[in-house]
Structure 1
Amino acid sequence: MPCSIPGGLQGSNREPQQINKRPIYVPGLGVQDSAMQPHKKLNILLVEDDKESMDFFVSCFGKEYNILCASSGEEALEYFEQEDDIAMVLSDQAMPGMTGVELLTHIYQKNESIIRIIITGFLNTTDIIAAINKGHIYQFIVKPWEIVQMRMVLSQATYTWKLKKENNELQKELLTQNYLLTQANKRLHTSKQTLRNLSISLFTAREEEQRRIAMELHDELGQSLAALKMQTRIMEHDFLPAEKAQQEKIKSWSTVLRSSISQIIEDVRLLSKNLS
Structure 2
Amino acid sequence: MESTMQGSRIVSLNALASSPTSDRGDIAPIYIPPKERFLEFRRKPSRSRALTLGIIGALFFFGAWELGHYLTPDSAKKFLPSIGEVAAAGYTLFFERNFLHDVYISCWRIFVSFMAAAAVGVPIGILMGSFANIRALLNPTLTAWRYLPAASFIPLLLVWFGPTDQAKIALLFIGVIFFLISLILDNTCAVQKELVEAGLTMGASRFEILKGIVVPAALPAVFDSMRNMIAVSWTYLVIAEIVGAQDGIGAVMMRAGRFLNVDVIMAGILTIGALGVITDLIFRGISALLFPWNVDRRS
Task: Say which structure is richer in strand.
Answer: 1
Larger radius of gyration: 1
Shorter-chain TM band: under 0.3
RCO greater where, 1 or 2, for CA within 8 Å and sep 6 or more? 2
**Could you tell me the TM-score, scaled by structure 2's length?**
0.23
Task: Say which structure is richer in helix.
Answer: 2
**Could you tell me the TM-score, scaled by structure 1's length?**
0.24
